[in-house]
Structure 1
Amino acid sequence: MTLRKTSPWPDDDLILYDGVCVFCSRWIRFVAARDVERRFRFTAIQSGYGTRLAQAVGINSDDPDTNAVIHGGEAFFRSDAALTVLSNLPGWRWVRVLRAVPKPLRDAVYGLVARHRYRIFGKYEACFVPDAEMRARVME
C-alpha cells in the first residue's frame, strides 16, 4: 500500500507512529538521536495531523497495527517502513541487505511484535512528551 507519486503527501520524510506505545516512542527517540541531518519528522497517530495522515494511507487510527514513513512521496509500512528509515540513517545503511529477506517473513515478525507491543513493552496513558529539541521535529 503506497501513496501514488501523482498525489504525494505534502510532507516528506515523516514517520507516523503510535504515540501511546512505549516501544514505538522509543523507536522515535532512537531515530531522532541518530538522525544527525534532522531529516525525519514525527507525528503520533493520536494527534490531529497523525490521524489525518493515517486515514489518508489506510491505517485505522483507533487500532493501528503498523507505523508508516512517507519517503520520496510514497508511504511505506511494516518492515518496509523500518528498513526505509534505518537505511537513511548514518551508520545504518547496511540494513538494506535485509530487503533480501522475503517480505512476508519480515512482515510476519513485524506483525508478531506489533500485536504484542503493549503487553511486552507497555503503554502510556497519553502520548509521550518529547524534549524541547525533538518537539521542533514533531508535527501535530
Structure 2
Amino acid sequence: MLSEFLLAEMNRLGTQDALPLHRQLYEALRRAMLDGKLGAGERLPSSRDLAEDLSLSRNTVVAAINQLSVEGYLASRVGSGTYVNDNVPRAAPSRGARHGGQPATLQAGRLSTRGIALSTTFCATELEVQPFTPGMVDFSAFPVAL
C-alpha cells in the first residue's frame, strides 16, 4: 500500500519536474507523512525492502531517509528500525504572517530596491528546512521599521 502511494507520487513528481530520484522519494515520503498516510510512530519498511519494492537503488532510498531524519520527520532506533517522528514539523506559515505579523509590503515602503527584493523573498520560517539553509537569508529578526 505504501509502496503504491510512493510510486504514484514519484511518478507525478517525475513528470512535473526533473527532480533526482532521491528527491522524488523524499518528497513522496514527506507528503505521505503530512497527509497522514504515515502516522506518528509508524515504522517504515527497511531501506532494502523499500528499495526492492520501488525498484530503486538502496543508496537512493538511504539518501531520502537520511534527509528526512535530519529534518526531524523520521527517527531511527538502533536494532528496531526507522519510525515517523511523533512531532512531525508542520507546514510553513502563510506569506503574509512575516515580519511580526505585518505584511512585507507595508514595511518595505522606505527600503531600497535591493532591500525590498530581499524582504519579499522567502525567509527561513517559510522553508521546510529552517536552520542553516544555504542561500536563504532570514530577515524575520531584522529591524525593518528602523
Quickly name the TM-score band, shorter chain normalised. Answer: under 0.3
The higher radius of gyration belongs to: 2
Q: Report which of the two has the higher share of strand.
A: 1
Larger relative contact order, structure 1 or 2 (CA cutoff 8 Å, min sep 6)? 1
Q: Tell me the TM-score normalised to structure 1 length.
A: 0.26
